[in-house]
Amino acid sequence: QQQVKQSPQSLIVQKGGISIINCAYENTAFDYFPWYQQFPGKGPALLIAIRPDVSEKKEGRFTISFNKSAKQFSLHIMDSQPGDSATYFCAATHYSGGYQKVTFGTGTKLQVIP
């Protein structure tokens, strides 16, 4: 069962444009929503994260928008650069059986063209 749905699967954006990746979830027990960035040949790395008590978090060119009522959150990359080309995963975490468990989205491959 896919608990975190991510779209689009792939995305091509012009340099300087805005990249937008969307995620939706069902489980209202999720309490932390991280985004990961993965370059080819590397493992995923935590990029930015948000808790459901805020609607937006910004770190440099990266912004998470969170809509608790719609159970949706998205990553916006402003002024996208070729160096941002990577696969992005959204995720959602919750406590289960005494441990925090992470459910990942299926990933979005972003290509930023010059």
Q: Look at residues 24, 22, 31 and name the one whose alpha carbon lies nearest to residue 72.
A: 24
Position among 32, 57, 65, 71 found at the interface with another protein (CB under 8 A): 32
Token pair 């444009």 is found at 17
CA distance 75 to 20: 6
Q: In the range 65-104, which residues lie near another protein by CB under 8 A? A: 89, 91, 93, 98-102, 104
Q: Considering CB under 8 A, how many residues would be counted as binding another protein?
A: 24
CA distance 79 to 63: 12
Give the tokens for residue 97.
């059986």
Q: In the range 3-22, which residues lie near another protein by CB under 8 A? A: 4, 6, 9
Q: Is 84 helix (H, G, I), strand (E, B) or coil?
A: helix
Q: Of 17 and 94, which has the nearer Cβ to another protein?
A: 94
Give the tokens for residue 75.
């990553």
Q: Is 105 in the site for another protein (CB under 8 A)?
A: yes
Q: Please list the residues that pair with 74 across neighbouring strands.
A: 22, 65
Q: Is 111 in the site for another protein (CB under 8 A)?
A: no
Q: In the range 33-72, which residues lie near another protein by CB under 8 A? A: 34, 41-46, 49
Instruction: Name the site residues for another protein (rule: CB under 8 A).
Output: 4, 6, 9, 32, 34, 41-46, 49, 89, 91, 93, 98-102, 104-107
